[in-house]
Amino acid sequence: MNVYGIGFGINGLLYITGETSGAGAFGVSHWTGSAWVQDGNATAGQVLRAIAFGPNGLIYTGGQNTTMGGVAAIGIAKYNGVSWQAMPTLAYSGGSVEVDAIKVLSDGTVLAGGIFDTLNGITSARLPTREP
């Protein structure tokens, strides 16, 4: 697994994201102190480049994903500890969507940066995604 994103969740655990190609490679995993444990079922072949944590405990990931755990999630998704959920729809007229940076504000607002030019069908400057 190639690791691209790393951070501490509000539960104090260390999380990583990366490329999910090959056996035993997981899109999002956390360290227990003795082993890496997969969080959710990332789809094989996805490249997750960013991870962020909401004040409510949600985990947000971004990358070149099209699905997460069987849920259509283009570029960005959130994980509630049980299942993956889609975020607002991103699109890029030049090809594939890629989310490279995510920041969650204290009020739960999610900002995402990367390669996309529309958000829910509205032209975007490749920055804001809002998920209160």
Residue 21 scores a pLDDT above 70: no
Proportion of the chain above pLDDT 90, given as a percent: 22
The total number of residues written for the chain in this structure: 132
> pTM of this prediction?
0.84
Q: What is the pLDDT of residue 126?
A: 55
DSSP bridge pairs for 63: 48
Alpha carbon dihedral 28, 85, 127, 105, in 10-degree steps, equals -80
